[in-house]
């Protein structure tokens, strides 16, 4: 990904919304930014980093979990599917909570749920309790990202928000890096229960950090006088949904995020080890490369988006096309064993998926008033995790269907056909992006 493709595709972009280019309303308080804003963001983002560590922990423990609980691919995928399902289902309720009670309280509750779920998972020895613990973890995870975005919107000027949002995703990838480097090694050397218990106890320090140092907003933007009347929950959701930018943001998030998400959350490690014959160390190295690529694209996209809103749609369409083409080449390779250079290539491409999905949140931010930003962000943030859930489940079912009964491992050919399932949500999401893009362009004309 370079700047040049975005420029060449500029004719495809949607005109910048009026709210993104007009000056703020006279007399409206402007967030100050500066050191205090970065401190508030840093405290908030520490919770998101912790959440990503919890969320991605199963990605390096999938084979261990299958052995510990005596389950196959379909049951194994249920862990991540349920976690993602809970995460997606909680997005709108969490957005409403953030809009009404502020991000600080929601983050504190999120830390409690994350630590409780992971601690229960550490001591689970059977499938059902472990599944319930991942659901609790998913609920806590759902409370983090939207809260951090709301903190950024209150502390930073509007022009800075796209860059800060990408930095938030980049920081979260730091948590993913901890998972692929530290957690994978700890599982091998320390075992299941000590490793997951240690992760759960990290929440104590993060909870104290938020409780002591985080403020919802600087004094200059805190409301004075009696609180304004709050719209009914149903009306708030309806108003967000009627906004075309919210719906476009949801489908952008859906389409761009799920390939890298499904690979990193669950199926990447089994694919590289069982289908490609790599060692755990080699597979972990490629997953680490995925994280580093994600961080690099996050910084690049953040810089592009902070300069011009016109870069949004070219970034999205380029990432979708490159991801689809890259996987087509990998899956079509004879024998299902692509060369290392090609595997590295698709890993690098999938690194762009997460940062591109944040473009959807930027559409929602610039199209909705401040009082419903949390709700709009929650609607958009459901998209990628619904796509991830569909992909995780589809791949798991196809792997079991394409493998002999009682097989201890899945063949390269089974993985190849199962991974073709990605093109179903990819085609649906792309069609919806193109449809809503035209509708948004018509609304701006």
What pLDDT is stored for residue 223 in this prediction?
54
Mean pLDDT by 10 residues, the chain (445 residues): 36 39 47 85 95 86 85 80 86 89 94 95 92 93 92 87 87 84 84 92 94 85 54 82 92 95 87 90 87 88 85 95 97 92 96 93 86 86 89 89 72 92 96 91 72
Cβ partners under 8 Å of residue 294, min gap 6? 169, 170, 173, 176, 260, 351, 352, 353, 354, 355
Q: What distance in Å separates the CA atoms of residue 53 and residue 26, rounded to the nearest whole number?
A: 43
Residue with tokens 């205090």, as numbered in its chain: 36
What pLDDT is stored for residue 231 in this prediction?
64
Q: What distance in Å separates the CA atoms of residue 12 and residue 15, rounded to the nearest whole number?
A: 9
What pLDDT is stored for residue 20 in this prediction?
40
| 327 dihedral zone (left: phi>0; alpha: psi -120 to 50; beta) | alpha
Query: Closest Cα partner for 297 from 275, 319, 281?
Result: 319
What pLDDT is stored for residue 220 in this prediction?
65
What pLDDT is stored for residue 314 in this prediction?
95
In this prediction the pTM is 0.74
Q: What distance in Å separates the CA atoms of residue 341 and residue 351, rounded to the nearest whole number?
A: 15
What pLDDT is stored for residue 328 in this prediction?
96
What pLDDT is stored for residue 58 in this prediction?
81
What pLDDT is stored for residue 253 in this prediction?
95
What pLDDT is stored for residue 8 in this prediction?
37
Cβ partners under 8 Å of residue 415, min gap 6? 271, 274, 275, 336, 399
Tokens of 123: 């001591």
For residues 298 and 173, is the Cβ–Cβ distance under 8 A? yes
What pLDDT is stored for residue 405 in this prediction?
65
């Amino acid at each position: 990904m370079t700047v040049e493709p975005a420029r060449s595709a500029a004719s495809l972009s949607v005109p910048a919304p009026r709210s993104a280019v007009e000056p703020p309303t006279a007399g409206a308080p402007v967030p100050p930014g500066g050191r205090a804003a970065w401190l508030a963001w840093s405290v908030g983002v520490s919770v998101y980093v912790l959440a990503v560590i919890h969320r991605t922990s199963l990605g390096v423990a999938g084979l261990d979990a299958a052995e510990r609980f005596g389950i196959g691919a379909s049951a194994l995928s249920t862990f991540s599917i349920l976690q993602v399902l809970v995460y997606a289902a909680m997005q709108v309720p969490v957005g409403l909570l953030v809009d009404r009670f502020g991000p600080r309280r929601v983050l504190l509750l999120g830390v409690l749920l994350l630590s409780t779920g992971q601690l229960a998972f550490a001591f689970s020895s059977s499938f059902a309790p472990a599944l319930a613990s991942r659901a609790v973890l998913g609920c806590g995870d759902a409370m983090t990202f939207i809260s951090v975005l709301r903190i950024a919107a209150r502390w930073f000027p509007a022009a800075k928000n796209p860059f800060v949002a990408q930095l938030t995703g980049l920081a979260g990838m730091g948590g993913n890096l901890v998972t692929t480097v530290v957690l994978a090694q700890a599982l091998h050397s320390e075992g299941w229960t000590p490793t997951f218990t240690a992760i759960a106890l990290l929440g104590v320090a993060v909870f104290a950090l938020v409780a002591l140092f985080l403020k919802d907003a600087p004094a200059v933007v805190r409301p004075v006088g009696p609180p304004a009347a709050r719209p009914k929950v149903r009306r708030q959701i309806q108003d967000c949904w009627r906004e075309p930018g919210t719906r476009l943001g949801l489908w952008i998030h859906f389409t761009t995020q799920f390939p890298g998400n499904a690979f990193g959350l669950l199926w990447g490690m089994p694919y590289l080890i069982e289908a490609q014959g790599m060692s755990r160390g080699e597979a972990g190295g490629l997953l680490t490369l995925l994280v580093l690529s994600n961080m690099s694209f996050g910084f690049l996209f953040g810089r592009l988006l902070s300069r011009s809103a016109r870069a949004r749609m070219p970034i999205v369409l380029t990432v979708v096309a490159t991801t689809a083409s890259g996987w087509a080449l990998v899956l079509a390779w004879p024998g299902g064993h692509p060369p290392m250079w090609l595997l590295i290539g698709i890993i690098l491409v999938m690194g762009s998926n997460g940062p591109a999905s944040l473009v959807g949140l930027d559409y929602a931010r610039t199209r909705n008033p401040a009082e419903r930003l949390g709700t709009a962000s929650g609607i958009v943030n459901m998209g990628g995790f619904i796509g991830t859930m569909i992909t995780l489940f589809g791949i798991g079912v196809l792997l079991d269907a394409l493998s002999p009964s009682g097989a201890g491992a899945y063949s390269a050919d089974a993985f190849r056909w199962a991974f073709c399932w990605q093109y179903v949500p990819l085609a649906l999401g792309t069609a919806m992006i193109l449809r809503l893009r035209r509708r948004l362009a018509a609304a701006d004309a």
